[in-house]
Amino acid sequence: MYDIIGDIHGYAKSLESLLTKLGYKKDNNFYTHPERKVIFVGDFIDRGPLVFETLEIVKAMINGGAALAIMGNHEYNAICYHSKSNDGKNWLRARSQKNVNQHVATLEAFNDSPKEWLEYLEWFKSLPLYLDMGDFRVVHACWDDEVIKYLNSRLLNGIMDDDFLHQSAKSGTIEFKAIETCLKGHELFLPIGMTYVDRDGASRNKIRAKWWKPLNSETYRSISLNNDENLPEIKVPVKQLQKLNSYSFNNVPVFIGHYWNSGIPSIMSPNVCCVDYSVAKNEKLVAYRWNNEKHLSDANFIIQECTEINVRY
């Protein structure tokens, strides 16, 4: 059986506390369980105070056979931030102030360990974009059947090759769309000229969509993943909804991270579960304890309150 753990973002102490709560013990220098394995949904790095230590824990568990992991958008961003374009003139991810600020906690964590950082970057490249375990699935942000079908035909075991990486950094390519979907989720633009202020005080002109819903008659508020009350109760044009692929209620359960949820953990639908509950905002690190059930339950969440207090993110 499996324990699916949400975005860690360098909060190693919270991770160790959660693993202990789940019954994992350190043996041969990695956490292990006699009957269960962990699946990490990505986003190990950036924001938190113990990025180096987090990667040590996660990688040791994977190497020891006690865990599996997929890539998050922060690992993907790190790969691009440190990779040059084929002509050697530009970085695949621009080194803008915004991008530097997002990555600074990781850069500082490896100031004195440049060799180890290069090794971790290579390890990131070995992480699959998704896992299909047969009875359940794991992806960082969104499972879109059409996108996954393309990736299955394009990649070996869901792992990026060098050509895919470089193409994915070019806006408008099919590779770019695949990365945006799997690692960031579906987004919808608001009507032209309309913006809203999200719960973090940022002004936005697009929303993250509940991609698992039957996509028929929806308003911008009802389709928004964050259920933000500042969004308008205006119907989304059918043409916009038709660009999305909903996740059928008949599909096996899928586990995701990414979405900075808050409050008491609860499933998104009977077969969709998000395990990101904003530990990097001093809230919770969450695991879902999966026991082969087809219909997910709120009772299977295991919660660890953040133990690293008042840390920047």
In a domain, 91, yes or no: yes
Return the pLDDT at 241: 84
State the amino acid at position 61 in one-letter form. M
Last residue of a domain, one of 212, 243, 274: 243
In a domain, 221, yes or no: yes
Query: Domain containing 54 — which CATH number?
Result: 3.60.21.10
Last residue of a domain, one of 202, 221, 243: 243
**The dihedral formed by the CA atoms of 195, 199, 202 and 205, expressed in degrees to the nearest 10:** -30
Domain extent for 205 = 187-243
**Cβ atoms 209, 185 nearer than 8 A:** yes
In a domain, 158, yes or no: no
In a domain, 69, yes or no: yes
| Three-class secondary structure of residue 51 per DSSP | helix
In a domain, 165, yes or no: no
Number of domains present in the structure of the chain = 2
**Cβ atoms 40, 75 nearer than 8 A:** no
Examine the domain organization and report whether 139 and 269 are in the same domain: yes
In a domain, 174, yes or no: no
| Three-class secondary structure of residue 196 per DSSP | strand
Tens digits of per-residue pLDDT, 204-225?
Answer: 888 889 999 877 778 888 888 8
State the amino acid at position 161 in one-letter form. D
Return the pLDDT at 5: 98
In a domain, 159, yes or no: no
Sites in the chain below the pLDDT cut of 70: 199-200, 227, 310-313
Examine the domain organization and report whether 115 and 236 are in the same domain: no
Tens digits of per-residue pLDDT, 129-143?
Answer: 999 999 999 999 999
Examine the domain organization and report whether 72 and 52 are in the same domain: yes
Strand 272-274, strand 67-69: pairing: unpaired
Return the pLDDT at 311: 57
Tell me how far CA of residue 23 lies from CA of 35, 65, 291, in angstroms: 10, 16, 15
Examine the domain organization and report whether 200 and 298 are in the same domain: no
Examine the domain organization and report whether 114 and 256 are in the same domain: yes
| Three-class secondary structure of residue 3 per DSSP | strand
Residues 6+ apart with CB under 8 A from 20: none
Q: Tell me the CB-side half-sphere exposure of residue 59, using CA atoms within 13 A.
A: 18
Examine the domain organization and report whether 256 and 127 are in the same domain: yes
